Amino acid sequence: DVVMTQSPLSLPVTLGQSASISCRSSQSLVYSDGNTYLQWFQQRPGQSPRRLIYKVSNRDSGVPDRFSGSGSGTDFTLKISRVEAEDVGVYYCMQGTHWPWTFGQGTKVEIK
């Protein structure tokens, strides 16, 4: 199985500052159709996961433009600019290129 490794696992941030989460895959996530199926999800405390980003850098409808995704091959990053209190939660990357689809361990974002 493809292993998705996130870092850091815990990320204390100051309100208004930026935060970055790294996600590395054990294999390239480029699919045979040329797409890279790397998604990012946010899970606020007590809530269901919510997709933020799909195919590396495509922001979902309603997601603030403070969230951005980048990367290629095996290295990916989620950046949160100007962190707000509502951004507290756990963030997961997930690959949908290789069976079985796999998630990272999660990165807990909290306010300092």
Partner 1 sequence: EVQLVESGGGLVKPGGSLRLSCEASGFTFRNAWMSWVRQAPGKGLEWVGRIRSKTDGGTTEYTAPVKGRFTISRDDSKNTLYVQINSLKTEDTAVYYCTTELVDLFDYWGQGTLVTVSS
Beta strands in the chain (DSSP E): 4-7, 10-13, 19-25, 38-43, 50-54, 58-59, 67-72, 75-80, 89-95, 102-103, 107-111
Contact between 94 and partner 1 (CB under 8 A)? yes
CB of 33 to partner 1, least distance (A): 12
CB of 92 to partner 1, least distance (A): 6
Is residue 85 within 8 Å of 40, Cβ to Cβ? no
Binding residue (CB under 8 A) for partner 1 from 106, 109, 111, 112: 106
Binding residue (CB under 8 A) for partner 1 from 22, 57, 59, 60: 60
Contact between 59 and partner 1 (CB under 8 A)? no
